[in-house]
Chains A and B, each alone.
Chain A
Amino acid sequence: MFKKNKVNAETLDGYVSQGKWKEIWRRYKKSKGAMIGLIMMAAMAAVLILAPLFVSYESATTQDFSLMLATPSAEHIFGNDGYGRDIFARIIYGGRTSVAIALIATVTSCIVGSMLGAVAGYFGGRTDSLIMRSLDIFMSVPDILFTMAVVYALGANFVNLIVALTLAYFTNYVRLVRSEVLTLSEQDYVEASRAGGANGLRIILSHIIPNAVGVIIVNTTLNIAKIILYEATLSFLGLGMPAPQPEWGQMLSEAREYMRNTPHLMFFPAAAIIITACSVNLVGDGLRDALDPHLKS
């Protein structure tokens, strides 16, 4: 009798967790905005990944003064910039860098922040207050200034941009994961497993992380958009990747000079930034609603 019950409980558990993701997908599909975002994101990813098949990196950096400020044509569908470089190619290769930086910085800040947050929330006491007080100090420096200082100090390149953005963004995750851990450790099943002799690490890994994963995913998605905007801002301010490497923000900064007569120089990179951030936000919002339908209605 007892044995039979146990088997039942396990199969039920498996069914529930498998059904949970199905259910989330079912709810996600219901939202038009979320699906549009997903399609836009997939299209963007496809273009950025497959880009080298259509345009070469050279066309993004080769200067051709005969084509200076040319308007869009069949050959250069987005036109050419002040140095005669192909804007389409620059958007594509700029996007590859920006999106890569944003994705990696999001993941690293998520890992660093979540770990610190889990430690703070789980151990509590002095560890917690030490981490949280340092965090308060970190958060007192407005983030763009902090990233600017770090990029300036370390020098602008791919890795340092990631480091700077990670340092500015991990704080979000510390707070988020800490509060999740605090709420979850009060749940009965965590109490039960603690009573059953499970140690701290095991509880964090097997109970707390899987349950906090939804919130983390949603925040991570929404953070990607923020980091893309920040990265663009940095490169607009001249703190992005070194030239000749194209970047959206830096393209806009250059386009300022020609704004009066050739606004298309400004239009395409601005559209690229907005469309990317919009699609990521749509997906993030969709995920949030799908994971927590309660919030929506």
Chain B
Amino acid sequence: MGEKDEKLILDIQDLKVIYKTDIETVEAVNGISLKIEKGKTLGLVGETGAGKTTTALSILRLLPQATGRILSGKICFDGEDLLTKTEDEMRAVRGNLISMVFQDPMSSLNPVYTVGQQIGEAIKLHNHDLSHEEVEGRIDEMLQLVGIMPSRKAEYPHQFSGGMKQRVVIAMALCCEPELLIADEPTTALDVTIQAQVLAMIRELRERLGTSMLMITHDLGIVAQICDEVCVMYAGKIVESGTVEDLFRGEKHHPYTVGLFDSIPNISSRATRLKPIPGLMPDPTNLPVGCEFAPRCEHCMEICKKEKPQVYSEGTHKFYCHLFDSENLKTGGSENESK
């Protein structure tokens, strides 16, 4: 905690988040830690319900007020813990230093304001001294940046297609040149061809503006294209993390990651069948005592049902799995970091 790492833009430590209603408590994020270096992109991969969006909303402190609660942990942005900030201080962060692109462009724009008004609002909120003309100029500039004709700024969201709306959302997120962009499955709701366009645009803008990025996705293809580092998330935990190299070229993997890879069709080994992961994610209101993945894991051992695994690492590549405990003994390679 003490030393401040100048290189890190985001440093999440042991974050725990629950959703509490009067009926049940959902353990959405269970002690995750992740780091993003300045200018780099981290991919957060996992199935729906793994806690990816919750992590993102926690960073902006935008969890649903009535239910969402951050139990413990730290979210250090540029060395400052966001969780200790006041609401006013957070407001100066949101949209200005950290912005977010949401999954569904259809619903993330307000239907009763023009896109120009909505981008303008984001600009004016963090640049009070700009004149009306300057704001308008900036709106035009942003629209051009994302490939929309500035003349369309007087149109309403429903007049745009899904891909165009997502461009508007991205323009809105980037208009204050944030240091960190959180993209929550930005292309999931779009057609494949549009996905590629939007993705290419995100990549280009990131290079041009030097923004760091947290890319949330369930698509390993996107990870390969865009990310520098990856965390694989399962049932509110990070099960494996490392560089993109580690994930795509590494020899060893967490069984869940193996399952993820086996679920994608692979052109080079067309003969082999797809191997979906059997079963469903555990009920987040009632998580297993041992490893969360144990009920679906084909390598499940006795210890997996009783104890949570610890971190095992090989250089930058980290695993949370008991399998590597026994392998450890054989290879004697990596050391055992205890929490």
Report A-B touching, CB under 8 Å: yes
List residues of chain B with CB within 8 A of the CB of A242.
none
Most buried by A among B22, B23, B64, B67: B23
Taking CB atoms, residues of chain B closer than 8 Å to A27 are: 23
Tell me the smallest distance from the CB of A74 to a CB of chain B, in Å.
45
8 Å CB contacts to A: which residues of B1-37?
21-23
Query: Does any Cβ of B come within 8 Å of A52's Cβ?
Result: no
In this complex, how many residues of chain A approach chain B with their Cβ under 8 Å: the count is: 5
Interface of A, helix, strand, loop or mixed by DSSP: helix
Expressed in whole angstroms, the Cα–Cα distance for A30 and B22 within the complex equals 8
A30 and B66 CA atoms in complex are apart in Å by 18
Least Cβ–Cβ distance between B133 and chain A, in angstroms? 44
Check: A297 CB closer than 8 A to any chain B CB: yes
* Interface residues on chain B, number (Cβ under 8 Å): 6
Q: How far is the CB of A225 from chain B (nearest CB, A)?
A: 26
Given A27-B23, A293-B21, A297-B66; 7 other pairs, CB 8 A cutoff: A26-B23, A30-B22, A30-B23, A293-B23, A297-B21, A297-B64, A297-B67
Q: Shortest CB–CB separation between residue B266 and chain A, in angstroms? A: 21
Q: Which residues of B contact A26 (CB under 8 A)?
A: 23
Of the listed residues A27, A30, A297, the one surrounded by the most CB atoms of chain B closer than 10 A to its CB is A297
A26 to B23, CA, bound (A): 9
- Please, how many angstroms separate the alpha-carbon atoms of A293 and B22 in the complex? 11
* Between-chain CB contacts (< 8 Å), 10 pairs: A26-B23, A27-B23, A30-B22, A30-B23, A293-B21, A293-B23, A297-B21, A297-B64, A297-B66, A297-B67
Against A, the Cβ 8 Å flags (1 = close, 0 = not) of B40-64 are 0000000000000000000000001
Q: What are the 3 closest A-B residue pairs judged by CB atoms, nearest first?
A: A297-B66, A30-B23, A297-B21
Cα–Cα, bound, A167→B301 (Å): 67
Contact with A along B288-327 (1 / 0, CB 8 A): 0000000000000000000000000000000000000000
Shortest Cβ distance from B280 into chain A, in angstroms?
A: 10
CB-CB < 8 A to A30: which residues of B? 22-23
Cβ of A4 to closest chain B Cβ, rounded Å: 12
Q: How many angstroms from the CA of A293 to the CA of B23 in the assembled complex?
A: 10
Residues of A within 8 A of B21 (CB): 293, 297
CA distance A30 to B23 in the complex (A): 7
Bound Cα distance A16, B149 (Å): 50
8 Å CB interface, A273-295 against B: 293
Whose C-beta in chain B lies nearest to the C-beta of A27? B23
Residues of A within 8 A of B22 (CB): 30
Q: Mask for A166-207, Cβ within 8 A of B = 1, else 0?
A: 000000000000000000000000000000000000000000
Q: Look across to chain A and name the residue whose beta carbon is closest to the beta carbon of B23.
A: A30
